[in-house]
Amino acid sequence: MSGTVAASQKRTLADAAYTQLKAHIIQGELAPGAKVSIDGLARRLEFSQTPIREALARLESEGLLARRPLSGYTVTPLLTAAELADLYEIRRLLEPFAARRAAERDPLADAEAARLADAARMPTPTVGRLAFTEADARFHDAVAHLSGSAQLSNAIRRLDAHMHLYRAYIEPGAIEETEGEHRAIAEAIARHDPTEAAAAMRRHLERARDRHNEAFRNAEAAQTEAPAEPPAMTGLPKRGESTP
Ligand SMILES: [Zn+2]
């Protein structure tokens, strides 16, 4: 019994370390390309090394960290503009297809439709980027899941991992727009309109791509005016409230 308790305490610690580290990455306190040291993080976040190691492995599997032999973990560099464009192209192939499949399925149970409508809702801008990032990922995941294809759902989830860092470049107004677009998708799926579900997803991804490009350009412009960030991570400097 005590073994089970110890195991669940370990789990909780690993989860807590994961949540904190992910927040630091999404909020840009651990910048893309920054080296991440297990020792440094363990000291700074006041965890032992084991939960930190587990958190790092999990973030690596989500695509937020990269691991190189001998040099350890680094925060995944941002995709180049061409890679990001490519990623959106692939999402535009897969995700409207998932939305179409979801709308074609047997009547959604009321509970499923309610869950999807709920997932379409976005947090208020004041809660910050991490909450937005996760809410957006959850919605896309929910649609993929409703497609009924595990293969499709996995493919979409894997692509989505690369989006985390980009969702952090978000203007407050974009959150409201995103919610409206998600709602249109959820409603088309709930009323079994496959053509509209696919079209609404395609529109959303095109708008999201344009919004990201714009927010990213603004953030880059702001960065070139500001003094450069130190490239390596020594502790976790609090970045000023610089909303992109
Ligand atoms: Zn979305």
pLDDT at site 5: 67
Task: Report the separation in Å between the CA atom of 182 and the middle of ligand 1, taken as the mean of its atom positions.
Answer: 6
**Which residues have CB less than 5 Å away from ligand 1 (the ion)?**
136
Task: Report the separation in Å between the CA atom of 137 and the middle of ligand 1, taken as the mean of its atom positions.
Answer: 7
Topology of domain 2-75, per CATH?
Answer: Arc Repressor Mutant, subunit A (1.10.10)
Task: Report the separation in Å between the CA atom of 173 and the middle of ligand 1, taken as the mean of its atom positions.
Answer: 14
pLDDT at site 217: 77
Convert the pLDDT of each residue in 13-60 to its tens digit: 889 999 899 888 877 788 888 899 888 888 988 889 999 999 999 999
What are the domain boundaries of the chain? 2-75, 81-225
Task: Report the separation in Å between the CA atom of 178 and the middle of ligand 1, taken as the mean of its atom positions.
Answer: 6
Task: Report the separation in Å between the CA atom of 132 and the middle of ligand 1, taken as the mean of its atom positions.
Answer: 10
Convert the pLDDT of each residue in 168-186 to its tens digit: 666 777 888 999 999 999 9
Task: Report the separation in Å between the CA atom of 228 and the middle of ligand 1, taken as the mean of its atom positions.
Answer: 31
The CATH H-level superfamily of 81-225 is GntR ligand-binding domain-like (1.20.120.530)
Q: In 3D, which of 44, 32, 43 has the Cα closest to residue 168?
A: 32
Task: Report the separation in Å between the CA atom of 203 and the middle of ligand 1, taken as the mean of its atom positions.
Answer: 10
- Supply the pTM of this predicted model: 0.74
Convert the pLDDT of each residue in 190-200 to its tens digit: 999 999 999 99
